[in-house]
């Protein structure tokens, strides 16, 4: 196929602030982005998946000073923790950007200079309210009663300093026009409505440099200033593709190939930075806008409190996996099945145990184990190759269900409805388990009804193979294990286009693997 005809897809996570260990909330966003990236690869598309860490700022500088090390030493260690966790969770990113990367820093300086030269950045003096933990400025109307930060709830402080400002107010009308013409630009609808109200209230010009700390990218023409987070961190989505790295900054091959992004996944608490500030920066640079900015919900505890580093109540993904001896795939499945993407979700250890045992151990794991065991027990050579299929109404219902789930799968995946998609796929799993009980292969075997017995086993293998393809973006290691247990080694039988029943024109030769393992052992509440 001509490479120019291959569809491109670009998905990003926010770049995470390494002021502590990565937690379940970080994993939730990264797993969702990874599922989307793997899904588009499954369709044969060329994918660029970006993640990384946002490593500058006053909070990092202060934490490093308190620990007696340099800021770079501090972020090196914490950034590596994110990389290590993403490797454990099978996050298949194409690039992990760090804002301390030399090419990123050079590109940011070029962008800052470009905006300054064209009049979108000017020098002024900042007087106002500042939250150090969030590294964010707020107006009097934005802070909560008692001068509390609207994001983290801590006390904001009054500060004064010389600064460069970005003309955010200049783009307010243009942003509103964008929202009115393209309501799917910001999703879900709750985030869209919030962003629209925010812009309608009026935008003030944005402080984009600081002088009260030094850990940041120097303003190239005024080195007592460092570039503040808005231009530093937000521009990673284009600097990672090479924008600003060449004399003709918009001409790098990856930038031309993948920009604009198909979707930015971000936590809803940083939506205004992306849906307002980032959009205005792109407008100022005269660059295409991302196709969609999607704000996912928060993971909450039963009492309604948010899981966050600032509150010290985070759940470590590694601790959770080790505590219950579960695989990365089990955790990935739980995160995207339990919590509808875009809504807040209630996390508890009880729901974690229940979901793993019910869906993975009892339903999918049991289906695979029983089917492989019956092939090994009821066939002489471990190879299931029926000479004739006896397809009655029950089998035809299953064939129709596979077709319907496959058709809806793309629609739901393109709409980021991961939980609903998995629920549909699990209908196939449940249908196959009911099929076993109704058809009773053990009875067919005792009655020497070989053709019907092999038909039943073959239909079960087809359901399992199709389920494994549809769950591959969610549980990549498990899918490969199931393919191996079924003896499926042809890549043509593992892609999305093969999610259909292969029992009419051409039968698949399934070979059960005697070295099968239990995919999902049951777990107990600890």
Cis peptide bond N-terminal to 89, omega within 30: no
Q: Model confidence at 392, in pLDDT bands (50, 70, 90)? A: very high
Give the other-Cβ count within 10 Å of 255's Cβ: 21
Return the percentage of the chain with pLDDT > 90, whole number. Answer: 79
What are the structure tokens assigned to 472, written together? 């591959």
Q: Which of 180-194, 298-312, 434-448 has the lowest mean pLDDT?
A: 298-312
Angle at 489 between CA 483 and CA 493, to 5 degrees: 80
pLDDT recorded at residue 243:
94
Tens of pLDDT, residues 221-263: 999 999 998 899 999 999 999 999 865 455 568 999 999 999 9
3-state SS string for 180-224? HHCCCCEECHHHHHHHHHHHHCCCCCEECEECCCCCCEECCCCCC
- At 336-374, the pLDDT tens digits run 999 999 999 999 999 999 999 999 999 999 999 999 999
As given in the structure block, the two tokens for residue 6 are 């291959």
Report pLDDT digits (tens) over 276-333: 999 999 999 999 999 999 999 998 887 777 766 666 677 899 999 999 999 999 999 9
* Spatial separation of the C-alpha atoms in residues 506 and 126, rounded to whole Å: 72
Is the confidence at residue 106, as pLDDT, over 80?
yes
Three-state secondary structure call for residue 139: coil
| Partners of 217 in the β-ladder | 227
**Among 43-57, 130-144, 194-208, 448-462, which is the least confidently predicted range?**
130-144
For residue 98, list its beta bridge partners: 53
How many whole angstroms separate alpha carbon 417 and alpha carbon 425? 13
> Nearest to residue 219, comparing CAs of 70, 114, 132, 65?
114
Model's pTM, two decimal places? 0.93
Q: Which of 228-242, 377-391, 459-473 has the lowest mean pLDDT?
A: 377-391
| 1 confidence band (pLDDT: 50, 70, 90) | very low
Structural domains of the chain, with CATH: 360-511 (1.10.730.10)
Other Cβ atoms within 10 Å of 500 Cβ, number: 13
| pLDDT above 70: percentage of residues in the chain | 96
CB 54 within 8 A of CB 99: yes
Nearest by Cα to 126 from 158, 157, 166, 160? 160
| Mean pLDDT of the residues in the chain | 92
Provide the pLDDT for residue 311.
63
Main-chain phi, psi angles of 50, to 5 degrees? -115, 135
pLDDT in tens, 34-76: 999 999 999 999 999 999 999 999 889 999 999 999 999 999 9
Window from 8-22, 76-90, 102-116, 141-155 with minimum mean pLDDT = 141-155
Largest CA distance in the chain: 89
Short-list 98, 88, 75, CA closest to 31: 88
Q: Which residue has the tokens 């993971």?
A: 299
The number of helices, as runs of H, and strands, as runs of E, in the chain is 20, 17
The whole-angstrom separation of Cα 488 and Cα 482 is 8
CB 70 within 8 A of CB 115: no
């Amino acid at each position: 196929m001509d490479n120019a005809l291959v569809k491109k897809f670009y998905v990003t996570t926010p770049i995470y602030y390494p002021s502590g260990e990565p937690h379940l909330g970080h994993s939730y966003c990264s797993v969702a982005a990874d599922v989307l990236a793997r899904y588009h690869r499954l369709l044969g598309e060329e994918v660029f998946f970006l993640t990384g860490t946002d490593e500058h700022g006053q909070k990092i500088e202060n934490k490093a000073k308190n620990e007696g090390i340099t800021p770079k030493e501090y972020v090196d260690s914490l950034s590596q923790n994110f990389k290590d966790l993403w490797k454990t969770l099978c996050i298949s990113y194409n690039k992990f950007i760090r804002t301390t990367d030399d090419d990123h820093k050079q590109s940011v300086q070029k962008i800052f200079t470009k905006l300054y030269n064209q009049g979108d950045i000017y020098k002024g003096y900042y007087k106002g309210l500042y939250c150090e933990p969030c590294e964010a400025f707020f107006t009097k109307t934005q802070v909560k009663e008692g001068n509390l930060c609207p994001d983290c709830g801590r006390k904001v402080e009054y500060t004064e300093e010389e600064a460069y400002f970005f003309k955010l107010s200049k783009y307010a009308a243009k942003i509103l026009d964008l929202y009115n013409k393209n309501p799917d630009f910001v999703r879900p609808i709750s985030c869209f409505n919030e962003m629209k109200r925010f812009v309608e209230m009026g935008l003030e010009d944005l402080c984009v440099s600081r002088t009260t700390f030094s850990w940041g990218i120097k303003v190239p023409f005024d080195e007592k200033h460092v570039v503040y987070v808005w231009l530093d961190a937000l521009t990673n989505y284009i600097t990672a593709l090479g924008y600003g790295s060449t004399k003709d900054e918009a001409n790098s091959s990856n930038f031309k190939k993948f920009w604009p992004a198909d979707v930015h996944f971000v936590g809803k608490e940083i939506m205004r930075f992306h849906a307002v500030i980032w959009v205005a920066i792109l407008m100022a640079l005269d660059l295409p806008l991302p196709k969609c900015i999607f704000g996912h919900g928060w993971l909450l505890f039963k009492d309604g409190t948010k899981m966050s580093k600032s509150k010290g109540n985070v759940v470590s993904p590694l601790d959770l996996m080790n505590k219950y001896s579960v695989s990365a795939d089990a955790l990935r499945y739980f995160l995207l099945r339990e919590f509808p993407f875009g809504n807040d979700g209630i996390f508890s250890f009880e729901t974690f145990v229940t979901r793993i045992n019910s869906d993975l151990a009892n339903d999918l794991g049991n289906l695979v184990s029983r089917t492989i065991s019956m092939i090994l027990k009821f066939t002489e050579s471990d190879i299931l190759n029926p000479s004739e299929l006896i397809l009655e109404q029950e089998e035809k219902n299953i064939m129709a269900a596979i077709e319907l789930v496959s058709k809806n799968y793309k629609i739901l995946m393109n709409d980021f409805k991961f939980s609903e998609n998995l629920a549909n796929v699990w209908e196939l799993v449940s249908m196959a388990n009911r099929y076993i009980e109704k058809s009773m292969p053990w009875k067919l075997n005792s009655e020497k009804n070989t053709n019907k017995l092999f038909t039943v086993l073959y239909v079960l293998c087809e359901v399992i193979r199709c389920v494994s393809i549809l769950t591959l973006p969610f549980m990549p290691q498990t899918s490969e294990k199931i393919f191996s247990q079924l003896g499926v080694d042809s890549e043509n039988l593992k892609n999305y286009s093969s999610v259909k029943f292969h029992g009419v024109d051409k039968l698949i030769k399934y070979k059960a693997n005697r070295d099968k393992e239990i995919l999902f052992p049951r777990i107990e509440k600890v």
